[in-house]
Amino acid sequence: MRINLGVLTFGAFSCFWGTGAGGTMGLELLTYDDLKDLLNLKGSLITEYPALDLLRDSVTIAFEEYLGRDLQSLERTETVFIGGSKTVMIKLRAIPISDIASLTITERGTVSTLTENSDFEVTNYGIYFYAPIVRCKVDITYTGGLAVTTEALTRGALLQVAYEFQSKEHIGSDHVSTEGGSVSRPALQLLKEVKRTINRERHPLVGGYL
């Protein structure tokens, strides 16, 4: 099992999460056939183009960072540390949430198990508690994320992967020389059109559009 670990700071709490087996690459945002037609490729498999295969995975990671959410649907555990400010909400990275396996609160060494629809409810951003919590640790094991991609994510990934693949020889270059001279090249990042396309998929508690 591969475990990806991270720390998220959000408002009155911080979050430590672990991702279960499978990793983020289990969700395929676009197929090789999508790319093959656009890029006019002749090979029958994406593995014939190692750079293209790598770029497809790296764009998925870039999307998750921009969107503020984990895309693949799988069971995972997040641990949230609540500070001195009371809160009734917790942001979970993998949405939509399809199942809560367990939710416990540890306060001064005492562990309490909470029940869905009695102590809390699932929202489009994570968890809403019916009573405020403070100075405690919350452990949540849940299944969340997308089982299949969306039209916006596929279109955005197609544009971004095609752009990066066609520009792969110049990644990291500030200037590109041509027969007519040298032109400036912006740093590699998500295209503005790609951001506009996938903005609707951002986590509800992520800040304004970039």
Per-residue pLDDT reduced to its tens digit, 43-90: 988 889 888 989 999 999 999 999 999 999 999 999 999 999 999 999
Residue at 210 is within a domain: no
**Structure confidence by residue, pLDDT tens digits, 112-168:** 999 999 999 999 999 999 999 999 999 999 999 999 999 999 999 999 999 999 888
- Would 173 be classed as within a structural domain? yes
Beta-strand ranges (E) seen in the chain are: 4-10, 13-19, 74-82, 87-91, 97-107, 110-113, 120-122, 126-133, 136-144, 175-178, 181-184
Q: Do the domain assignments include residue 161?
A: yes
The domain tally of the chain equals 1
Residue 206 lies in a domain: no
pTM metric for this prediction: 0.78
Q: Which domain holds residue 121?
A: 4-201
